[in-house]
Amino acid sequence: MTSSDRIAQPETGLQPPVISSKAYGWQNIVLEEFHQPPGEERYENVAEHTLCLSLNPRPGRLFQTIANRRHISLFGKGDISIAPAGSVLFSQWNQDDRYLRIQIASQLLEQVAQTAIDVDSDRVELLPEFRARSPEIEQVSMMLLNELRTGGTAGKLYVESLTNVLAVHLLRNYSALRSGSTTYEGRLNDCQLLQVTDYVREHLADEIQLADLAESLQLSQFHFSRLFKQSTGVSPYRYVLQQRIDRAKRLLQTTDLSIMEIALLCGFSSHSHLGKWFRQYTGMTPKVFRVSNGKS
């Protein structure tokens, strides 16, 4: 492709992200939503793999190069570009552009490759992609974006779980795996299950992270998540959330603590944070639940 094949561009300054996850301290992943005027960008991702998910309601023409590969076509909502760590992503567009940029630490993919699909990290190579389509990756990405837009209210455990799912989809569908792959089967034994559920119960007031739960059993995060769900029927995140709601219900029924105090004791950041999840699980507010159980 010659320079004449590129899109004719006015010189336009790039805008900062509309919203970014950097303020929330998420592990192994950075999400940033962009609304850009016509322009171009050269982005070098040294230590992270980069996904760009188009959020354009109307397709627009996009010219891209990744490493020594070039592509030009219409990109619309749900189209994905993937730039492996260490590559340079150059993009050029002649209309307003909306997209979600996701940076995933290369170290995380190496860990997931070793623990989730039993492949040595030096045998994993993420492949450049233009205009890929993956309903699974799009769904996980939009769930992460929704969490970002709502201020990270579901917590880091939720984000870490989704990040691991995203990493697995990338490895299974957009990488060169020069080895056979296997998956972990089975369940946690009774001793392991008691150990991790005791840990959750003792730390409900704290910010529980997936790494904490996995480390308590000396398992990788992905291996732990898979075995935990096979043992309990729910993800670690859903289990922790249910335990927090159950404790809140008991405290509302048996104490005169304020709803704010109960929220903090159960690991919620505020009265409204507790209220949001309490309504979702019980169909009523904490105050109505307390009154309905004979507490004024």
Q: Give, in words, the CATH class of 190-237.
A: mainly alpha
Pull the structure tokens for residue 263. 């929220």
Q: Which fold has domain 3-177?
A: Jelly Rolls (2.60.120)
CATH number for the region 245-292 comes to: 1.10.10.60
pLDDT at 178 (0 to 100): 41
Reply yes or no on whether the pLDDT at 106 is more than 80.
yes
10 Å CB burial of residue 93 (0-12, 13-18, 19+) is buried
pLDDT tier at 176, thresholds 50, 70, 90: confident
Helices (H), 124-220: 135-149, 156-173, 190-202, 210-216
User: Smallest Cα–Cα separation from 296: which of 270, 244, 258?
Assistant: 258
Residue environment code for 63-91, b if the CB has 16+ CB neighbours within 10 A, otherwise e:
bbbbeeeebbeebeebbbbbbbbebebbb
> With a threshold of 0.85, does the pTM exceed it?
no
pLDDT tier at 184, thresholds 50, 70, 90: very low
Domains 3-177 and 190-237 fall in the same CATH topology: no
Alpha-carbon span 36 to 54, nearest angstrom? 12
pLDDT tier at 117, thresholds 50, 70, 90: low
pLDDT at 288 (0 to 100): 92
pLDDT averaged over the chain? 85
Give 77-87 pLDDT, tens digit per residue.
999 999 998 88
Give 187-198 pLDDT, tens digit per residue.
888 888 888 899
pLDDT, greater one: 169 or 8: 169
- Determine contact, residues 273/251, Cβ cutoff 8 Å: no
If you average pLDDT over residues 179-202, what whole number do you get? 74
93-97, 116-120, 179-183: range with highest mean pLDDT: 93-97
| Range name among 41-45, 220-224, 245-249 with the lowest pLDDT average | 220-224
Give 130-149 pLDDT, tens digit per residue.
988 888 999 999 999 999 99
Per the DSSP assignment, residues forming a β-bridge with 31 are: 102
Alpha-carbon span 268 to 264, nearest angstrom? 5
pLDDT, greater one: 52 or 116: 52
- Kindly list the domain boundaries of the chain, sorted by start residue: 3-177, 190-237, 245-292
Reply yes or no on whether the pLDDT at 179 is more than 50.
no
pLDDT at 269 (0 to 100): 86
Q: Which amino acid is at 136?
A: E
Reply yes or no on whether the pLDDT at 126 is more than 50.
yes
User: Smallest Cα–Cα separation from 223: which of 115, 143, 91?
Assistant: 115
